[in-house]
Amino acid sequence: MNNRINTLFTEKKSNILSIYFTAGYPALEDTMTILKNLDNAGVDLVEIGMPFSDPLADGPVIQHSSEQALLNGITVSKLFEQLKEMRQHITIPVVLMGYLNPVMRYGIEAFISKCAEVGVDGIILPDLPMDYYVSHFKTHCDQHNVSNIMLISNDTSTERVRHIDEQTDGFIYLVSSNGTTGSNKSLEEQQAYYKHIQDLKLKNPALIGFGVRDKHTYDLTNQYSSGAIIGTAFMKHINEHGISEESIHNFIKSIR
């Protein structure tokens, strides 16, 4: 059964732009404003970060936004409340990105079911082990048509990449470096790895993230994948220029 993510990748094979932002930041009630402005600016996919106190994969910019959002009072329950009328306004696919601990506290089945209820199409939990996904998440994800998106890096064995490809749908998140989001490791250095993944001819499309920050890096990712995920550069932009429709539109225009 197709969800909005699968439909997007069926209809559009390249030049897909996904933008990440942190829920409840800069102010608690900014989540829907940013989401609407991104939709209006023509992005293809949005990842909303669920702040967590120990975000292992996040660089300093996103860590700071998470800390502030938690101080603002964001919780998983509050985020679902903010998104409850999302589908009256938003047509693009929406993914929640976060960590396993808050999901476990909320309850796995309750969390996946709530995602489906408010219209969230997928989840990305960087610290969710593959075997735990298969044993505890997959049934609920399949039942509620919520994609689970796994990360791979150049440390991931070909065997594991194929296993992830078999067990998941939506897309595969290709991490451009083994560091954290926003790291400056050159995307150019990773081209052999991107080519290797491209040559595997996986059933799932791939998006490249971590280190994509401008038109040059975005264009580079499009040579090897269906598109890119931009988080840190967007968060820096809203820190400097705010979250107005014009500000967000200008950022997207600068990438494409």
Instruction: Give the residue numbers annotated as catalytic, written as ranges.
Output: 47, 58
Token digits of residue 108:
């796995």
The amino acid at 231: G
Token digits of residue 95:
């993914």
The amino acid at 219: D
In whole angstroms, what is the distance from residue 150 CA to residue 133 CA?
10
Contact 231, 20 (CB under 8 A): yes
**Between vectors from CA 58 to CA 109 and to CA 226, what angle results, nearest 5°?**
80
**Between vectors from CA 83 to CA 47 and to CA 31, what angle results, nearest 5°?**
60
Q: What string of DSSP letters covers 79-142?
A: HHHHTTTGGGT--S-EEEE--HHHHHHH-HHHHHHHHHHHT--EEE-TT--HHHIIIIIHHHHH
